[in-house]
Amino acid sequence: MGSILCAGLGPGDPELMSVRADRVIRGARHVAYFRKKGRPGQARRIVDNMLAPGVTEYAMEYPVTTELAFDSPEYIHCLARFYDDWATRLAELARTEDVVVLCEGDPFFYGSFMHLHTRLQGRAKVEVIPGIPGMVGCWSSTQTPFTWGDDVMVVLMGTLPEADLVRHMQTADALVIMKTGRNLPRVRSALSATGRLGQAWLVERGTMPGQRVVPLADVDGSDCPYFAVVLVHGRGRRPEVQE
C-alpha cells in the first residue's frame, strides 16, 4: 500500500516551507498539484528546482475558474466531477505508490485539497503536512503587528455579499479579506461604509517575487491579481503593556 501525503507549501517563498515538507517533496517519485489551464501553477512554481530527476507529475487542471459563477449549479457540478475524478485516480495510484500532493498555504485552510481529502476517506491512507497560511506571510510583509491584546480577527471572503462584509467588518478588530480579484470594488465599498478603508492594505504576492504592499485607498479597484489579500490591522482592546 502506498499513501497520499499533502504537503502545505506555505505562503509562497520556498524558504518558508517546513523542513518536513521540503524533505518529502525532494524525495517524491509522484507529485500532483492543482493549476489553471494554460498556467504552470503556483504550487508547481514554488517547488521549482526541488523535484528529483525522473519524478512523475500530475497536473490537476481546473475545468473552470472564473468562466462560471462560483455559486451556480453548473460550476458546482463541474467542480464536483473534477474532484471525484482526481480522488479516484489518486486512490488508484496510492494502491502501490506514495503520492505527494502540493498545496499552497495550509491544506486545511481554504485549500483545494480539502475537497479531495473528504473523497479519499476509507479509500487510501491520507496525511497532511501543515503549512504557514498565505495570510500570515502577507501580514508579515507589512512589518507591523497584526493583532494586539484581545483583538478579534475575522477572515472574510471577498465573494460575500456587501451587506455581509459590512456586518462582519463592524464587529471585528483585525480583518483579513481573501478572494479579492474581481471582488475588490465590493470590498473597498464595504470598508468605506464602515470607515476602515483608510486603514486597509493590499498585499499582492506576499513573500513571492513581485511582492507589493500598498494602501488599498491608493489602488484602482480593477487592479487586483488573484494572489492578493486585503488586511486591516487590529489596534488592541487593552492598553499596551509597558516594561
- pLDDT tens digits, 105-151: 999 999 999 999 999 999 999 999 999 999 999 999 999 999 999 99
Q: pLDDT band for position 74 (50/70/90)?
A: confident
Helix intervals (H) in 66-112: 73-93
Residues in CB range of 184: below 8 A, 6 or more apart: 158, 219, 221, 222, 224, 228, 230
Q: Lowest mean pLDDT: which of 75-89, 190-204, 215-229? A: 215-229
| Average pLDDT of the residues in 145-166 | 96
Can you tell me which residue has the cell 517546513? 18
Helix (H) or strand (E) holding 113, with range, is helix 113-120
Q: Are 46 and 104 in contact (CB under 8 A)?
A: yes
The rounded percent of the chain whose pLDDT value lies above 70 is 92
The predicted pLDDT at position 181 comes to 86
Across all residues in the chain, what is the average pLDDT? 92
pTM for this model (two decimals): 0.90
The predicted pLDDT at position 66 comes to 61
Q: Which domains does the chain have, with CATH numbers?
A: 4-132 (3.40.1010.10), 135-232 (3.30.950.10)
| Average pLDDT of the residues in 210-228 | 83
Q: Which residues, listed in sequence order, are joined to residue 198 by a DSSP beta bridge?
A: none
